[in-house]
Amino acid sequence: MAEDSTPEILKDALKFGINLGLDRIVRLCDLLGNPQDSFKSVHIAGTNGKGSVTAFISSILARSGLKVGVFTSPYIERFSERIRIIDGAKGLAGYIADDSLGEISEIDLTRISLEVAECVKQMESEGLESPTEFELITAICFKYFAEQKIDVAVLEVGLGGRLDSTNVIRDPLCTAITAISLDHCDRLGDTIREITYEKAGIIKPGSPVVLLNPEITLMTDPGDVLSVVSEVASIKKSPVILAGDSEMTGSCNILRTGRMEFTYKGETYETGLLGRHQSGNAAVAIEIGKVLGIEDKIIKEGISLAVWKCRAETICRDPFVILDGGHNPQGARSLADLIYEVFKDSPIRLVMGVMADKDVEGIIEAYKAAGMNISEAFLVKPDNPRAMEPAQLSKIINNVYNYKVNVHEVTEPLEGAHKAFALSAGDGMPLLITGSLYLLGTIRTDLRGRSDA
């Protein structure tokens, strides 16, 4: 991560780790005056794609003229990325030109953090547990959005859904569930049914839920996903809208401009977010837009204008440098399919760093299954206590690729990126930097300064 302006209260709360549950955030929001009740919202859960759907629907809503609050996680380059306001079409144009536009200011972040800290003291005096870091960030976000009098918030779930701190919102305009796969099994369950149940916990009585058609997602049991969401929605009397179809994914075409075109329900859309999986994410946002009554022309323009960094993001074209934060087998397969579609079986140079608690072998196997021809790999260690040692990652890659990859264990992320970039600048080999969003912030900032992007 390139810049750390994280308030001290949040740094201190890291010691509490992840502790799912709503009691703490309910009391914290109550002490703040329940700011989450002062604005409308769209709530998005899922294993993969929820950030992209957030980007798509935020773009659509802003293009329609609304003042949109956007809450995402984690951050890539600046902590303030997590809490952003895109104020109408003009604000969207500014954000596209400068991705720091609309982020919460350091002054507002500090001011609200101090107010939240006083509420935490009150909670502790009542004998309650201290809120986790994510709960504090959520409360800061709600307070800021309420102060700024936004028209609608787009809220990305942090982990799971049912017990995620964002789930204190009461009456969303719409909820959405993106692709589901096995991830965070230690907290969400060991099966697709269990994980889907946790994600479906964001469904609220009477609010429509848009579900990415599980038939077009990778590495999931579509029957389990659909049945669980349908069961929960039926209990809540919430209509279910399926988004996406195989005809849409089959229509995807990478244009000479570096953008992608696809057809959905007879309409042709264009987007800068690449990969067949992104057509599915776009379809979710399209259906949300329709639920909210936004006209088709605005929806199409919003899809076209959406930006989302470090998701198959090309930051340089000579040489090709692509950044992607895929960190589970489903996301890795989507990325690898895109790489193969663009470069076929041409050799790829890789910079990779991962978290040790992820299914790293499954990620590498997904690369191989999709035909990704990794010729050379620089293995680094993200700045995170959960990071996997490069030597362990090297062993996994060698085992899966049968020792056909030229592997370098560099450890330091920027050193590995610099060496790989210099080689690709010399021989033109495409460079893919991936594995974890914790890795990409500093590298993105640095390489953008060296590249033609």
Instruction: Verify that 321 and 424 share a domain, yes or no.
Output: yes
* Nearest of 356, 311, 306, 357 to residue 332 by alpha carbon: 311
Boundary residue ending a domain (282, 305, 328): 305
Of the candidates 305, 327, 348, which is a domain's last residue? 305
Q: Are 176 and 44 within one domain? A: yes
Residue with tokens 């990071």: 387
The two beta strands, 83-87 and 67-71, are antiparallel
Distance CA 135, CA 17 (A): 11
Residues 208, 328, single domain; the answer is: no
Is residue 20 domain-resident? Answer: yes
Report whether 39 contacts 124 (CB < 8 A). no
The answer as to whether 199 is a domain residue is yes
Phi then psi for residue 229, to 5 deg, are -60, -40
Look at the chain and report how many structural domains it folds into.
Answer: 2
In a domain, 107, yes or no: yes
Beta pairing partners, 209: 175, 240
Question: Which of 131-140, 311-320, 435-444 reaches the highest mean pLDDT?
Answer: 131-140
Task: Look at residue 419 in the predicted model and tell me its pLDDT.
Answer: 96
Q: Is residue 150 part of a domain?
A: yes
Q: Are residues 269 and 224 in the same domain?
A: yes
Helices (H), 85-221: 88-97, 106-125, 133-147, 185-188, 192-199
Contact by Cβ (8 Å): 353, 413? yes
Quick check: is 401 in a domain?
Answer: yes
Q: Which two tokens stand for residue 232?
A: 């929960």
pLDDT tens readout for residues 276-307: 999 999 999 999 999 999 999 999 999 999 99
Question: Which pLDDT does position 376 carry in this prediction?
Answer: 97
Same domain, 282 and 230: yes
| 20/98 same-domain check | yes
The verdict on 282 and 336 lying in the same domain is no
Pairing of strands 174-177, 40-45: parallel
Instruction: Identify whether residues 294 and 370 lie together within a single domain.
Output: no
Per-residue b or e along 401-425, where b marks 16 or more CB atoms closer than 10 Å to that residue's CB:
beeebebbbbeebeebbbebbebbb
pLDDT tens digits, residue range 26-35? 999 999 999 9
Query: Looking at this protein, which amino acid is placed at residue 354?
Result: V
For residue 453, what pLDDT is reported? 44
Q: Provide, rounded to the nearest whole percent, the portion of the chain with pLDDT above 70.
A: 93
If you average pLDDT over residues 153-173, what whole number do you get?
95
Examine the domain organization and report whether 319 and 413 are in the same domain.
yes
Q: Are residues 301 and 367 in the same domain?
A: no
User: Is the same domain home to 332 and 298?
Assistant: no
How far apart CA 283 and CA 177 sit, in angstroms, is 12
Give the domain CATH number at 322: 3.90.190.20
Q: For residue range 186-243, what is the model confidence (pLDDT) as tens digits? A: 667 778 999 999 999 999 999 999 999 999 986 567 889 999 999 999 999 999 999 9
Among 121, 67, 75, 126, smallest CA distance to 99 is for 75
Cβ contacts of 321 within 8 Å, gap of 6 or more = 314, 315, 421, 424, 430, 431, 433, 447, 451, 453
CA dist 446 and 315 (Å) reads: 11
Does one domain contain both 248 and 338? Answer: no
pLDDT over 50 (residue 183): yes
Give which of 337, 326, 432 is closest to 375, Cα–Cα. Answer: 432
The angle at the Cα of 154, spanning 156 to 278, to the nearest 5 degrees, equals 65
Q: Is the pLDDT of residue 261 over 70?
A: yes
Name the residue among 71, 42, 52 with its Cα closest to residue 279.
52
For residue 299, report the phi and psi dihedrals to the nearest 5 degrees.
Answer: -60, -45
Residue 385 lies in a domain: yes
Cβ pair 272, 303 in contact under 8 A? no
Instruction: Judge whether 85 and 69 are in contact, CB under 8 Å.
Output: yes
pLDDT band for 2, please (50, 70, 90 cuts): very low
Question: Is 2 part of a structural domain of the chain?
Answer: no
Give the per-residue pLDDT at 1.
43
pLDDT tens digits, residue range 354-411?
A: 999 889 999 999 999 999 999 999 999 988 888 999 999 999 999 999 989 999 999 8
> Do the beta carbons of residue 228 and residue 220 sit within 8 Å?
no
Which residues have a Cβ under 8 Å from the Cβ of 395 and sit 6 or more positions away?
A: none
Selection from 249, 250, 236 nearest residue 179 by Cα: 249
Which of residues 295 and 331 earns the better pLDDT score? 295
Does a structural domain hold residue 103? yes
260-264 and 253-254 as β-strands: parallel, antiparallel, unpaired?
Answer: antiparallel
Q: What is the pLDDT of residues 242-257, one digit of tens each?
A: 999 989 988 999 888 8
Give the separation between CA 113 and CA 131, rounded to whole angstroms: 13
Range of the domain at 141: 8-305
Res 37: pLDDT:
97
* Per-residue confidence (pLDDT) for residue 364, from 0 to 100: 95
| Interatomic CA distance for residues 267 and 76, integer angstroms | 33
- Domain boundary pick from 305, 327, 344: 305
The candidate with the shortest Cα–Cα distance to 409, out of 426, 423, 395, is 395
- Going from the C-alpha of 3 to that of each of 77, 270, 444, the distances in angstroms are 6, 33, 12
